[in-house]
Amino acid sequence: MKSYQSIEAYYQQLSDVEAEKLQELHEIIKKAAPGAEEVISYGMPAFKQNRVLVYYAAAKNHIGFYPTPGAIVAFSDRLSHYKTSKGAIQFPWNEPLPATLVHEMVQFRIAEDMKLNGNKKT
């Protein structure tokens, strides 16, 4: 696993098209979680409140979006178009990002995070 010091450093290793698409996802997440800290965790860009809310990463044929298993279960009815696993969703490079769905999943993760932390944001 490569180690990056910043999200910008992560983007520098991508093609312009990939970096632009990830930046679009980044902005969707940032609007949904304006108070979250932007970090690199497990070698991927992530947004953190008390715990990491979501991760995302570039893969060969898709963008990996990692909102944790609870969000995958909660939104399973709206994820049938995408390949998913226990904690990951694959957004194909050649399709528009589902901005509303991502926003709602991030909001779900914020609520989950606050509940796990006794409704406190630290």
Residues 47-74: tens digit of each pLDDT: 999 999 999 999 999 999 999 999 999 9
pTM: 0.92
Domains of the chain (ranges; CATH) run 7-115 (3.90.1150.200)
Average pLDDT over residues 2-23: 93
CB 121 within 8 A of CB 114: yes
Residues 68-116: tens digit of each pLDDT: 999 999 999 999 999 999 999 999 999 999 999 999 999 999 999 999 8
Amino acid 96: pLDDT = 97
* Extended strands (E) in 12-111: 37-41, 44-48, 52-58, 62-66, 83-84, 89-92
